[in-house]
Structures are given as C-alpha cells and as structure tokens.
Amino acid sequence: MPPKFKRPPPPKASASAGLSPDDEDAFFSRNPKGWDAIKVENIASPTKSSRDSSDSEDIPAPKRRKGKAVKKESDWTKPGAVMQVAILHACRFAPDGSRKKSSPGKGKGKAKVTRERSITPPPEVPEDAMMDAKRIIKEVFFGGEADDAAKLSQEDEEMEDEEEDPEVSALLAGARRAEEAAFKSRVYDVQSPTYDDPASPALSQEEEEDKLKLKVQWKGPALEEGKGKWAFAFNHRAPFRRLNETMQTKTKLPEKEIVLAHNGHRILLGATPKSLRMRKDTTETIEVYPKWQWDAEEHETSSTPLTSPKVDDMAPATIATQAGGTQAEEEEDDGGAVASVLVLSIRSGAHPNAITISAKRTAKVSSVLTKYLQKVGENPAALDVLGGAGRGKKTVKLSFDGEELAAGASVGSVDAEDEDMWDVVGL
C-alpha cells in the first residue's frame, strides 16, 4: 500500500513583515498583492518536524481508476449458435429412452437428477376476449368489415322496428309453405316409389338417372279396387320394403303376408335394385303374391333366396341379356349348373371408347377377345389371341384391374361385376 502524503502547513510570515503568526488567513487578507508583497527570504520553509506534526492534514493516495469493461459478445452472433441451441432444446425434451443418462461414477461433478416433464395447459381464453380478437382481426385484414352476425342482428332489429305489410307477410308465408311442400315431395320421391301418372311431380335429371321403372303385377285374387297392375319410378338404392309398404295399402294385407318376386326368385325386403343388379335403362317386372299362394305354388322351395354378407336381405342377381332385354337369362352348361352372364366394358389403346359385351362367366378369355376384335373391326386371324399359338403375330391379352388373364382362363375367375372396365393389352 503506498504511503500517505501530508499536506504541508501554510507558510508563516515573520514578525518583521507585520503579520500575526497565529492568524493563518491574515497573510491573504492583509496582502492583496499576494506573493509579490512578500520577500522570499523572510518565508520560513517547513521543517521535518513540522511535516511530522499532527497539525498537518493527511492526503489520501489517489485511487486507481478501473478500466472500462469490454462488453462481451453475444453467443447468438457466433456461427452455429442457433443450431447448438436447437440441438440442446431437442436433447432436453427428448424421450427418456433416447436421452443418455449420466452415471455418478463417470465424469466430474454431481450426477444430473432426471425430472419428469410437466406440460402446463394453456390458459383458457374468455369467449368475450376471443370474439373481440376475431373482430379486430377482421377489421385489420378485411378492410374493417363488421361481423356478419352483427350485421344480421342489426338488420333483424331494424326489420322488427318497421311495421310489416300484411300483403308482404302473406306472400312470404305462401312462399314458405310452397317450399316446405316441395321439399317434402322431393324426400318422398327419393325414398319411396312414385306413381307413373301425370299427377306425379317432375323429376330432375339427376333423380331420373338414379331411378328405374318397375311394373308391378298382382298374382293373387282380384282386388276390389284396380286391375292389379301398377307402374312405379323406383329409386335404384331404395329397399324393396318401401314397395311392400305400398302394396300393403293396395292389397289390405300385412307385411308378412306379401311376397315380392322377380323372375321366379323371391325378393327379400332388405334388397335394393342396385344389389340385384337391375339396370336403369330397362323396365323390370315385379310379381306380388299373397304368401299362401306363393307357398302353394312351391316357388320358395324351388328358388331359395340368397343373402349377402353386407345386406341381410338379398335375392339372386338379375342378369341383363346381350341384346339389352329386360328378362334375366339362365343357361345351363354341360354340368347342369346355372351359369350367370357377365357384362364387360372393354377398351384398348387403339379403340379408347368402351365396347359392351355380354358373356357367360365360364366363357374363355380367347372367345371374348375374338368377339371384341370383330366388334371394333379388327381381324382376329391376324392377331395372336391364344397366346403363343401364332408365330409372327402380335399378341393381345385381356386384363382386368392390372392383372392379365391367360387365354384359357374364364372371365368369371376374377372378382368382376357388370359394366366393370376391362383392358386389351397389345392392341
């Protein structure tokens, strides 16, 4: 520590100079000229004893000035700092299985204590605050338009304040009743059979495309009203239970005493025209029997109705003929079993427009290909239809859903339905 400095006492003038030695300020108060009026030889210089005396004032040593602290550079300015923080954040919130746990035996310092993560749910926002926020956002980003609900409420209040004109209110009420009646008729028309007479409402194009015509014939005793023949425009996806309900009103019989049949097969009430593969461009005939007469004619034992895993009530499929007829076609093969007919829509690269061909499910692929080539104007003899039989000829194959079928395979070997698209490969 540096030594302390003592301030020397003020110079004392001698008595010859006319100054009082006890008055320290007398030197400056009585000598306006300052040091010019004092002779140097008359000034007594301070001695060592006067310096060491307690009358002198201690002067502390000057303090060392601290240098200006240099501001530390932020860690964010270093290259790769953001990536390091992201990695640390990912490691901090990583699952326990992927995080490396520190062991107390390795490394220096205390082992880190693993704590379970706690997720604090966000605070609930009051509904009023949320509505205000939405309103502000709409005003900022959408040109200051007011809320539609507020507009409607204001318009409703203005309309309530005004007196309603009786003529206007009557017109509005009439239009409302007409709209409700039209809606009810559309619902009934979509879900239930509609009589094919001039009194029926006009159907839209979309509804007409989704309907098919049914001719219903009563096979029981003569009815009191009507001849027992009706024509319906029936929805393609509606269950036949609705037709049964209509027949209940016509025949005065309960539901269980009415049997619907098509081409000798009983139609169960859960089946639909679509599930029975009835075509929309044809007119199908439905027979209605009283149950006692159906049992007497043994129709039920000769043709047992089938069921589907998706629909509990299902009847055997109706197959369209090649000429587009309305009657189902049943043909027997050599084994005596009934072979159904499949309607194929076939196209090729040279002929992109699909051609419809009807064939048995047991028909060979080669015969179907030959029939298709004849329809599109190609010469089957100039192409290899049998697959390797004709040398130097272009091979053509029939494909369904990306799977090529061999020439000797049957078209019923794949899970295809009527009017599914088939492709001819190689043409």
Residues 230 and 294 in one domain: yes
325, 369 contact by CB (below 8 A): no
CB neighbour class for 328 (10 Å; exposed up to 12, middle 13-18, buried from 19): buried
Provide the domain limits for residue 51: 11-58
CB 267 within 8 A of CB 197: no
Let me know if residue 416 belongs to a domain.
Answer: yes
Split into its structural domains, the chain has a count of 3
- Is the residue at 310 inside a domain? no
DSSP string, 410-426: BGGGS---TTEEEEEET
pLDDT (tens digit per residue) in 3-62: 665 666 665 555 554 545 555 555 555 556 655 666 666 666 666 666 666 555 555 556
Retrieve residue 259's tokens.
Answer: 């049997």
Residue 365 contacts residue 424 (beta carbons within 8 Å): no
- Residues 295, 199 within the same domain: yes
- Is residue 200 domain-shared with residue 292, that is, in the same domain? yes
343 Cβ contact list (under 8 Å, min separation 6): 320, 356, 357, 358, 418, 419
Q: Does 405 share its domain with 352?
A: yes
Does the residue 324 lie in any domain? no
Residue 315 is predicted with a pLDDT of: 37
Q: Are residues 205 and 254 in the same domain?
A: yes
Same domain flag for 355 and 296: no
DSSP letter at 409 equals: S
Cα separation, 385 vs 400, whole angstroms: 16
What is the domain-level CATH number for residue 384?
A: 3.10.20.90
Within a domain: 420: yes
The 10 Å Cβ neighbour count of residue 345 is 13
Residue 147 lies in a domain: no
79 Cβ neighbours under 8 A, 6+ residues apart: none
320 is a domain residue? no
* 199-208 CB contacts, 8 Å cutoff, 24+ apart: 200/233, 203/233, 208/233
Which residues of the chain have a pLDDT value below 50?
17, 19, 89-91, 93-100, 145-147, 149, 184-203, 299-339
* Helix, strand, coil percentages, rounded to 5, for the chain: 30, 20, 50
**pLDDT single digits (tens) 205-244:** 555 567 888 889 888 888 877 778 888 888 888 889 999 9
Are 298 and 347 members of one domain? no
Do 212 and 296 have their domain in common? yes
Residue 327 lies in a domain: no
CA–CA gap between residue 204 and residue 211 (Å, rounded):
11
Which residue carries 């601290």 as its tokens? Answer: 66
Domain end position, chosen among 285, 302, 319 = 302
- Regarding whether 290 and 218 lie in a shared domain, the answer is yes
CA distances from 155 to 54, 134, 148, 161, 169 (A): 99, 21, 10, 10, 17
Judge whether 278 lies within some domain.
yes
Check whether residue 281 and residue 370 sit in a common domain: no
Q: Do 378 and 297 belong together in one domain? A: no
Which residues, other chains included, contact 256 with Cβ-Cβ below 8 Å and sequence gap of 6+? 291
What's the whole-model pTM score? 0.27
Alpha-carbon torsion angle 297, 300, 303, 304, nearest 10: -170
Q: Domain ends where: 58, 79, 96? A: 58
